[in-house]
Structures are given as structure tokens and as C-alpha cells.
Amino acid sequence: VATISVGDLAKRMGVKASEVIAALMRLGVLATLNQALDVDTAALVAADFGYEVEQAMTEELEVEALQEQEAEMGGEALPRPPVVTVMGHVDHGKTSILDAIRKTDVAAGEAGGITQHIGAYHVQAPSGDLTFVDTPGHAAFTEMRSRGAKVTDIVVLVVAADDGVMDQTKEAIAHSKAAEVPIVVAVNKIDKDNADPDRVKRELSDFGLIPEEWGGQTIYCLTSAKKGVGIEELLESIQLQAEILELRADPSRKAKGTVIEAQLHKGRGPVATVLVQEGTLRPGDHFVAGIYSGKVRMLINERGEQVQEAGPSIPVEVQGLSGVPQAGDEFIVLTDEKMAKSVANARQLKARETELASASKVSLDNLFEKM
Ligand code: GTP
Ligand code: MG
């Protein structure tokens, strides 16, 4: 049976959970925040708030119920690699640090390296595995977050030792704090004559990023991406921070993740880079990605190699979509094609309704403007 928790229902309607609990009480149902409500009860309460529980929502509820069932039947939550985003001011060395990190990848091999850009890549570093998500700009980070996607576990904040804290450094700190993602600082360009790492530490301390050696909790690494100095230490520090977070996921479940980027490829049709966050994704899996459904035809890693599976924290390019989803869209594997299609259809309907509603509103507004 499909259910929804009191908390989730409140969130979806944009009201306080306490209000939902009060409404339930009026219906003679005593409920707690995490209590599961069946569709009928949920519909009754929703009606109280002027909401109609339509087909789309019941489909969504079914998806959630299925996934909860999965979770109950699932195996153990095992440690997973951290997912890292590198941020910082223009020219402070983000790309150079990522390049230096890629060189430590034992899986890339000698000739290898990255042949394909898929928006995210996995590195097998000597200190442990980790995944980097490329967000070309801070805007992309915010956009993903505004769409409810949380993909980053740790932010590496790159600050040039000869330049110090600049506008986009502050912006990156604000974004990380808003997303409640811990920051590891890389004080870069320490090879430069006018490098002053202590100044960077002082400036960042004003934003609450107090170094461990000064009694704070923020890990600082001194790096020179150009000379390859401090890169292994940076990777070790990221792993240290990851250990504190105790990141875990159950690889035995059906896969669930987030679309990092997607586009229409000339020969291959719609392709999406998906970061798997729970479970394991395999060819043949039926899924929904945003408003589209599909069946995994092929999985390709960041080196352009075909792979047979992708577990937690692994990014893969997925082929076999019926359309191009948006970055930040949820990617969910479902039991079968019928289920995937019906959820996708329900979502498309809903999207169209929303579009129509806003379109008619706009034209009304225009009308009033003209009057
Ligand atoms: P944007 O993507 O434009 O925001 O820049 P970025 O942060 O990716 O910086 P990028 O890695 O492109 O480096 C900018 C410049 O700084 C390049 O000319 C690099 O060669 C140089 N650079 C990066 N790291 C170091 C370093 O450790 N030492 C020195 N001396 N130069 C560095
Ligand atoms: Mg760059």
C-alpha cells in the first residue's frame, strides 16, 4: 500500500507539520511526524488545506512506498566514497588542482587520462576513492540545490596564497554553508614569492573557517598545483573529513541518484550523466529521470569505457532515455517498464498543467498591463 509520512505531506503542501497533525486530530487520527498515512487519509487531510491528491501524487506515493520496501528488504549500508566539489575565485587554481588530482588516479593508467567529459569523475587515489563533480560555476551549484538535489558531501575551497579571499571565495563559503556542506581549504600557489598562507588563514577565520592548528575545526592544506606539492595531503584530508561524515549507502538496492548533466547527442540520442547515490545501476534497468522514463541501454564511465554496473558515489553516462532531463533531476530505478512509464506520464501531465497555469497567469498579467 502506498503511504506518505506526516512530515513529507506537510512539506509537499508547504505547511507546518504541526498543522497537519492538528488537522489529523480533527479527523480523529492521532499522528506523529514520522507516521505513515495511507493515500485516503492523506487525501482527506490535503483537502483540508485545499489540495487535491491527484493521480500524479498517488503515483509518486507508490514510488516512495516501493523504495521504502526496497530499503527494508535491502542489505547493509556500506561505506561509500565522498562526492567532492571544488570551488573558489577565478584563476585561483581549481582546474589545475583537479588536473593534479587526476594524475594520481591509478585507474587512469599511463596512456589513459580522461578522454571524455561527463561532468563528474571518479578517482582511485592512493589514499582512497573519491568522486569529483564539476560545477563550472557557483550558479550551477545553487541551481542544483534549488531543485532539491544534494550531490556534494564536501567542498574543497581553493584560495590563492598570493591573492587571498576574494568575492567568489566569499560566495563559495556562503553556498557551502547554506547547503551545510563541510569545507576543506586548499591554500594554493604556495610556490609563488609573494605567497602568504597565514594571511589566507586569518582572512578565512573571519568567516568561521578557523584552522585546526589555531584551535578550530577546518582542515587547511598548502598546495602548489603547478609543482604538484601537497596534492596527496589534500586527498588525505578530504578522506579524513569524509570519515567524520560516515558516508554510507546500500549497494544491494535498486539505484537512485541525481542527473548531473544531460544533452541530446547526435548519434546516441539523449544521454545523461547520473551520479548514483543509493543502490547499483545496471544495463536493462527501467527508470524515471525527471519527466522521462527509459531503460538503461549502456553505461559509460568517465574514460569512455562501457561498464556493467555503477554503485554508490559512482558517476556514469546513461544511454536509453526517452528525452533530455534537467540537471538536478532525480533518477530512480523502478520495478518494470509499466511503472516507469506511468510515473513519467504522470509527471509530464503535472508539468504541463503547471506550465499552462503559469502561461494563463502571464497572459492575464499582460492584459492588465495593457489596460
Ligand atoms: P577559472 O576556471 O577561470 O575560475 O580558474 P581556475 O580557478 O580553474 O584556475 P586555473 O587552474 O585555470 O589556474 C589559473 C592560473 O593560475 C593558470 O595560469 C595556472 O597555471 C596558475 N596556477 C594554478 N595553480 C598554480 C600554482 O600552484 N602555482 C602557480 N604559480 N600558478 C598556478
Ligand atoms: Mg577552471
Residue 89 labeled ligand binder: yes
Q: From the CA of 189, how far away is ligand 1's center (Å)?
A: 8
Asked if 302 and 114 touch (Cβ cutoff 8 Å), the reply is yes
Beta carbons within 8 Å of 310's beta carbon, 6+ residues apart: 255, 274, 276, 280, 281, 282, 299, 301, 316
Number of H helices, E strands in the chain: 10, 17
What is the residue-averaged pLDDT of the chain?
86
Q: From the CA of 98, how far away is ligand 1's center (Å)?
A: 11
Nearest residue (by CA) to ligand 1, atom 21, is 93
Residue 208 neighbours by CB distance under 10 Å? 12
Looking at per-residue pLDDT, the higher value among 103 and 100 belongs to 100
Asked whether the predicted pLDDT for residue 87 surpasses 50, the reply is: yes
Q: From the CA of 5, how far away is ligand 2's center (Å)?
A: 43
- Measured from the Cα of 168, ligand 1's closest atom is 4
Using one digit for the tens of pLDDT, what is the confidence trace for 265-307?
998 899 999 999 999 999 999 999 999 999 999 999 988 899 9
Hey, what's the torsion of the CAs at 95, 101, 107, 111, to 10 degrees? 60
Nearest residue (by CA) to ligand 1, atom 15, is 91
Asked if 280 and 311 touch (Cβ cutoff 8 Å), the reply is yes
Q: Which of 282, 318, 310 has its CA nearest to residue 81?
A: 310
Report the pLDDT value the prediction gives residue 137, as an integer from 0 to 100. 62
Looking at per-residue pLDDT, the higher value among 321 and 69 belongs to 321
Residue 170 labeled ligand binder: no
For 313-371, give the secondary structure using H, E and C.
CCEEEEEEECCCCCCCCEEEEECCHHHHHHHHHHHHHHHHHHHHHHHHHHHHHHHHHHC
Rg from Cα positions in the chain: 23
Asked if 294 and 320 touch (Cβ cutoff 8 Å), the reply is yes
Q: Which of 237, 255, 360, 359 has its CA nearest to residue 299?
A: 255
Spell out which residues line ligand 1, taking CB within 6 angstroms.
88, 90-96, 188-189, 191-192, 224-226
Asked whether the predicted pLDDT for residue 49 surpasses 50, the reply is: yes
- Which ligand does the CA of 231 lie closest to? 1
C-alpha cell at 255: 539505484
Asked whether the predicted pLDDT for residue 120 surpasses 80, the reply is: yes
Residue 370 labeled ligand binder: no
Looking at per-residue pLDDT, the higher value among 326 and 65 belongs to 326
Report the pLDDT value the prediction gives residue 113, as an integer from 0 to 100. 47
**What are the φ and ψ backbone dihedral angles of 302, each rounded to 5 degrees?**
-70, -10
* DSSP summary character for residue 255: P
Q: From the CA of 91, how far away is ligand 1's center (Å)?
A: 5
Report the pLDDT value the prediction gives residue 370, as an integer from 0 to 100. 47
Using one digit for the tens of pLDDT, what is the confidence trace for 165-199?
999 999 999 989 988 999 999 999 999 999 999 99
* pTM summary value: 0.78
- Measured from the Cα of 229, ligand 1's closest atom is 27
